[in-house]
Structure 1
Amino acid sequence: MISNNPYLQEVNMQLGNISNALAIEANGRNIAVTFPNLEWAFNITLRNVSEISMPSLAAVNGSLGFYSNFFESVNAPNLTTVGQSLSFVSNQKLNNASFPQLTSVGGGLQIANNTNIEKIDGFPKLQTVGGALDFYGNFSDVALPSLMDVRGAFNLQSSKDLTNTCNHFQPLSGQNNVIKGTYSCSGGESTPGGSGTLPSGTNSGSGTSGSTTSSSASTAVTITGATGLLGVVAAIFGML
C-alpha cells in the first residue's frame, strides 16, 4: 500500500508485474500514477489519484478497482482479462472508461455513481461477466455489443431515460439466456441504486443466481508517511 503521503505527487514504476496486492490511496491530491511496462498484476486498487497510465497492462488475476479518483479518463488499451471484480465507483470527474480489448471479467463489473459518465460504451469486446453487472448513475446509453454471458444479476439504473437501452437488454434475460441472474433496468430514477435495490430505491430482498467467486488471500505492500518516490520504488521492488 502506498498511502498517506501528502507531498507525493508522482508514482512512476518500471515494473513488468505486481505479484502482491497494490493499493495507492490518500496521497497528494494531484498524484499521477504511471506503470508504462506493467503487463500483469495480482490486484490493484486506486483511490484519490489524479492521473493513471497503464498502457501495457494485459491481465489482472484478482480485482481492479478505481474509487473516488479525480481523473477524467481511464484507459487500459491492452487489458484482456480481469480474474475477479472490475469496479469504477464514485469517480466524480470520470467521463470516459475505455477498455477496448477486455473480453472477460471473472467476478462482478460495477460502474456506480460516476456522475459525469453519460454513455457506457468502452467495452466493445466484453463477452463474459462471471458475477453481477451493476451500473447506476446518470448515463443515458449502455452499449455492450459482444456480451454473451452474465452469470449474476444485471442491474441498470439511471437518472436519465433508458428506454432504448432497456428494450435492447430485456430480451437477453432469462435462465437459459445471456443474462442468467435477476434482471433490472430502469431510467428516470431520482436515486439510482445498485444491484439488490428496486428502482424505487428500496431493498428488493430477492436473491440472484449465478456463480460465486472466491477471493484469494493477498499480501499487500505497505508504505505510509513516505515523502520521496525513491523509497516507494525501492519498497515495491523488494517485494517482487
Structure 2
Amino acid sequence: MCKQLFLLGTKLRFTFILCPSYWIRILDLGKKSAETYSTYYKRRMQLFKAYFSALLALSVTSARRAYQQEEVADYDNFDINSYDINLNEIIPMSSNSNSSSEENQKEDASPSKCSKDRYEIENLNDMNELHDCKVVKGDIVVLNYKEPILQFGQINRIEGNLEIYNAPNLVRIEAEEVRHVGKALILSELTSLSLISFPSLRFVKVLDWKVLPILNIVHFSNEIKDIESITVSDTSLIGFSGFMTSKLENLDINNNRFLETINCDVEQITGKLHIAANSKDVKVSLPKLEYAKNVSILDVLDINLEKLSEIESSLNVIENNFDTFKLPNLKSIGGTLSILQNDKLNSVKFPNLTEVGGGLMVVNNSNIDKVNFFSALNIIGGALEIVGNIKELSFEKLKLVKGSAKIKSSDADFSCAAWTKSDMSSVIRGGKIECTNANNERIVSNTPTENGKKVTTTEGGPVKMKVSSGGNKSSLNSIIYAFLAVIWSIVF
C-alpha cells in the first residue's frame, strides 16, 4: 500500500505525507537523537498533526477535481433536444399586454398631487385641489379651517392620518366616499361641529375625538373592522356602539355628558378600559370582554363584565351609581383593587378571585357593612385597607397579606380587639396592623417576625432557610477533580 501511495505521492509531490510508516521511521530516528523522552513526545505530536493536516488538504483537493470533472461531463452529455419546450405557450410581451398593464397602472397610480407625504388644508381651495384624487398617499391635516362645511369629494382612500384641529367655524364634515383611513382619524377642538358623516368607512386604525362639545350626530358604517384604539371625550353623543373588533389597545369613553349607552363586543383590551364622567345614567355592556390590562369604571349606572377573567394591572371602581357589582369569572388582578365611594352599592361579588397583586381597598361605600365577598381570595400582594360602616369583616381563604392592614369602622359594635386576635392577624406580614372603631378603640400591633433570623414566607407560612458553607466547598472540590481528570485523559 505504501508503494501505491508513494506513486500517487510522487505524482502529486506529497511522497512522504501519504504513508505513516515513513513517519514512524522518522520518529524512531528522532527518539534516538532526542535527549529526553519529553522532546521525543513533543516531536511525535507535532508530526502527527502535520500528517493529518496534509492528508485533509489532499482529500479536499481530490474531491474538488472529481466534482469539476463530473460537472464537465454533465455539460458534455447535455442534449437540448431532450427537453420538450413549447415556444407557442410562452406569452410574448406584445403591445396589447403592455397597453393593458399601463391601463392597470393608471388605475392604481395617483397623480403626483395626490402622492405627497402631508397635506395642510387651511381653506376651501386647498381642499378642492384633492377632490379628484381617489387615493391620497399621505396625511391630511386640516388646521384653522374657516369654512362651515368640509367635504372630501371623490377621495376613497387616505393612506395616512386624517387630522382636523382647531376649526371653531366648522359645523359639518362630509366624507361620503371615504372607505379607508390607513392610520388615525383625529378630531380635536371643533367647538361648533355637530355632524360627522362617513357612511362608507370600513377601515380605520384609531379614533381619537376630543373636545367636540356639541357633536351629536355621527353617520358611520356598522361594518368598521380591525380598529385598534378608541377615545371619545367631551362630546354630546347619546350612544356608542357598532364597532366590529375582538381586540383593542384602548377604549376610553369619558366626559360625554349625554351618553346613555356604551356597547362593544371587544374580547381583549391590551391597554386601558376607561369609562368615566359620562351621563349619570350610562349603561355599559361589554359582554364578551375576557382580558383587560387596566380597568377604571366611574359614574356608571349599570355594567356588564360577566366574562372578564383577568386584569393584568389595576381595577378601580369609583363613585358609581349601581347597587350591584359582580365579576363572576374574574380570577386574578395583577395590581390594586379599589372600590371607593360608591354610595348606592350594597352587593359585591367576586366568587372566583384568588389573587390581588397589589393593595386591596374598600373605602367609604355607604351601604356596604359586610366585607365578606372575597370568599376565594388567597393572596394580597400589597396593603389591606377597609374603611366604612363595617360590622363584619372576613376573608375565609386568605393566607397572606404582604403589606400592612388598616381597618377603620364607624360602627360601634365592631370590635378591634376581637379582630386583631383572630386568624386574620397571623396572615398580615408586611407591617403594622391598625384598627379603630366608633368607640375610639384603637389597636396598633406589629406583624409577626422572628428577630435576627432570615425568614422566607410562602402562602402557608414561614419557612426557615438553612445554608451550609461546607456543602459549597465540597462542590468546588468535585469540580476541580473532574477538570483534572479530563485533562489527564486528553494528554495520556
Deviation readout 1:95-117 (Å, 9 max, x if unpaired): 11110000000000000010110
Correspondence for 2:414: 162
Equivalent residue pairs, number: 193
Question: Helix, strand or coil: the match of 2:397?
Answer: coil
Q: 2:365 aligns with which of 114, 117, 120?
A: 114
**Per-residue deviation at 1:7?**
1.3
Indicate how the Cα distance of structure 1 residues 173 and 124 shifts in structure 2: closer, same or farther if over 3 A, else same: closer
Give, in whole Å, the separation in 2 of the partners of 1:41 and 1:81: 11
Within 5 Å, which residues of 2 pair with 1:38-77? 38-77=289-328
Change (3 A) 1:127 1:166: farther
Higher helix proportion, which one?
Answer: 2
State which of 424, 428, 433 in structure 2 corresponds to 1:179.
428
Is contact 1:173-1:183 (8 Å) kept?
no
1:88 match: secondary structure: strand
TM superposition score normalised by structure 2: 0.37
How far apart, in 2, do the equivalents of 1:131 and 1:40 lie? Answer: 22
SS at match of 2:281: coil
Partner Cα separation in structure 1 for residue 439 and residue 259 of structure 2: 40
Q: Give the equivalent residue in structure 2 for 1:237.
A: none
2:401 matched residue in structure 1: 150
**Structure index of larger Rg:** 2
SS at match of 2:407: strand
Matches within 5 A, 1:76-95: 76-95=327-346
**Match in the other structure for 1:188:** 438
What is the CA–CA distance in structure 2 between the aligned matches of 1:55 and 1:173, rounded to whole Å?
A: 30
1:12-32 CA-to-partner distances (Å, cap 9, x unmatched) read 111111111121111011001
Q: Could you tell me which runs of 5 or more consecutive residues in structure 1 were left unpaired when the two chains were aligned.
A: 191-197, 210-240
User: For 1:116, what is the secondary structure of its paired residue?
Assistant: coil
Distance 1:173 1:124 in 2: 14
Q: How does 1:130-141 map to 2 (within 5 A)?
A: 130-141=381-392
Note the alpha carbon deviations across 1:159-196, whole angstroms, 9 max, x for none. Answer: 11222x7524534467xx41112111222268xxxxxx
Question: The residue matched to 2:418 in structure 1 has which SS?
Answer: helix
| Superimposed CA distance per residue, residues 195-230 of structure 1 (whole angstroms, 9 cap, x where no aligned partner) | xxx959xxx9x9xx9xxxxxxxxxxxxxxxxxxxxx
- Secondary structure of 2:288's match? coil
* Higher RCO (C-alpha 8 Å, min separation 6): 1
Which of 11, 35, 46 aligns to 2:262? It is 11
RMSD: 2.3
Tell me, what secondary structure is at the counterpart of 2:421? helix
| In structure 2, distance between residues paired with 1:120 and 1:167 | 16
Identity of aligned residues (%): 34
Normalised to the residue count of structure 1, the TM-score between the two structures is: 0.75
Structure 2 gaps, min length 5: 1-251, 450-492
- TM-superposed CA distance for 1:4, in Å, is 1.2
Amino acid at match of 2:284: V
